[in-house]
Structure 1
Amino acid sequence: MNLIAYLIIAVEIGFWVFIAAGLVTRYLFGRKRLGLLLLAITPVLDLTLLIATTVDILANDATATAAHGIAAIYLGVSLTFGKRMIRWADERFRYHLMKKGPKPVKRYGFDHARHELSGSLLHVLAWMLGGGYLFLLVRLAGNPGQTEVLLQILKVWTLVAAIDVALSLSYFIWPRKAKADSFR
C-alpha cells in the first residue's frame, strides 16, 4: 500500500473522529462554538488529501495508482455528501444518545424516491468534481502511461454513478412500501 492509500484511511478516520468530537463537544459539554469548529475541520482534511495527491503525481512524477483515483472519489463524495453525512450523524446522536429531538425519519413512497434521487444527483455532482479532478491530473501530467489507471477508475465510477441514478429512478416506478405492522 502506498502513502496516498494510508492518507485516505487517515483522512476518513479523521473525518469521523472530528464529527464525533464536534457532536460530543456540542451536546455533552454544551460548547456549541467549539463543536462547530471541530466539525469545520473536516474540509481541512480533504484539502490535505487533495494537495498530497496532486503533489505526488505532478511534482514527484509518481505513476498513478488506484489509491490516487480513490482519493479523487473520496474528495468528490466528501465535498458533496459531507454536510448530509454530518446532518445524518447529528440527528442520530441527538435522538439515540441525547434522547432529544425527533426520531430519524423512515421514508416511503414518493418521499423515499425523491430523497434517493437527490442522493443520486449528489453522486453525479461528486462524479463531476472528482472526475474533473482526475481528468485535470491526467492533462497536467501529460504522460498517458503515468495516469492510465485514473481513466480506468473514471470509467468504472461513471458506470457506478449511472447505476445509482437508474436505481433511484426505479423507486418512482416501484415505490418503497412501509412494512406491515407485525402485531396485526
Structure 2
Amino acid sequence: MIVALVIACEVAFWVLLAAGLACRYVFRMPRLGLVLLWCEPLLEAVLFAVSAVDLRNGAEPDWRHGLAAVYIGFTVGLGHSTIRWADARVAHRFAGGPPPARPPKYGTARAVHEWKVAGRWILAALVAVALLQAAVWYVGGDGETGSLRVWQQRMLFVVGVNLVIAASYTVFPKRRPQGEADREPAGLR
C-alpha cells in the first residue's frame, strides 16, 4: 500500500503542478492556480501520516517505508525548485514572460550554480535521513530497522556525490573557449 501511495503522490504532484500552472497562465485564474500549487505539501503530509500509522499498527519497517521517507525528503529539497523551473517555462510560453535563465557555463558563476544545485540535493537527502532516523526511533529497539539503515546509507552516498560534483566545479572550473565572447547573459551573473 505504501508503494502505491508513493506512486499516487508522484502522479498527483505533476497533476497539481500542471493544473496550477494552467489555471495561472492559460485560464487566467492566478489565485486558483496558487491554491492548487499550495496543495502540493498536503501530499507529503498524507504520505507521512499513512507511513506512521502503518508502523504504529505493527508493520515491520521495510524498503517501502524507506522509499516513502526518501520521497518526502526529495520533495522537500527539490519540489520548490521544480515548481519554479516549470513556472518560468510556462510563463514564457503562455504569458509572454521572459525566457527562462540558463545556468552559467563557465568559471565561478558555474561553480556557484553547482553548489546551489548540490545544496538542494543535500537538503533532500538529509531530510530523508532525518525521517528515516525518526522511523528507527519510532519503531524502537524491538523492530527490524536494517532496511531503513540501508536507505540512510544511500542518502549519505547522495550527499557525497553532490559534494564531489560541486567541489569539482570549484577546484577545476570550466574555462571559456578563447573564441567565445567574454560575457554571459545579464540574468546569470
| TM-score interval for Structure 1 and Structure 2 normalised by the shorter chain | 0.7 to 0.9
**For residues 94 and 153 of structure 1, do their structure 2 counterparts lie closer, same or farther at Cα, with a shift above 3 Å needed?**
same
Q: Does 1:101 align with 2:97?
A: yes
Looking at structure 1, the residues matched to 34 and 77 of structure 2 have their Cα atoms a distance apart, in angstroms, of 19
Q: Secondary structure at the match of 1:146?
A: coil
Q: 2:65 aligns with which of 45, 64, 68?
A: 68
| CA RMSD in angstroms, aligned pairs only | 1.9
Q: 1:78 aligns with which of 59, 75, 80?
A: 75
**For residues 45 and 174 of structure 1, do their structure 2 counterparts lie closer, same or farther at Cα, with a shift above 3 Å needed?**
same
Q: Aligned residue for 1:23?
A: 21
Q: Does 1:56 align with 2:31?
A: no
Decide whether the 8 Å contact of 1:62 with 1:146 is kept in 2.
no
TM-score (norm 2): 0.86
Unaligned ranges ≥5, structure 2: 181-189
| Correspondence 1:1-184 to 2 at 5 A | 3-57=1-55, 59-95=56-92, 97-98=93-94, 100-106=96-102, 107-109=104-106, 110-143=108-141, 145-176=143-174
* Paired letter, 2:99: K
Looking at structure 2, the residues matched to 164 and 139 of structure 1 have their Cα atoms a distance apart, in angstroms, of 28
* Paired letter, 1:114: V
Looking at structure 2, the residues matched to 76 and 176 of structure 1 have their Cα atoms a distance apart, in angstroms, of 31
TM-score (norm 1): 0.88
Unaligned ranges ≥5, structure 1: none
Aligned length: 177
Q: Secondary structure at the match of 2:100?
A: coil
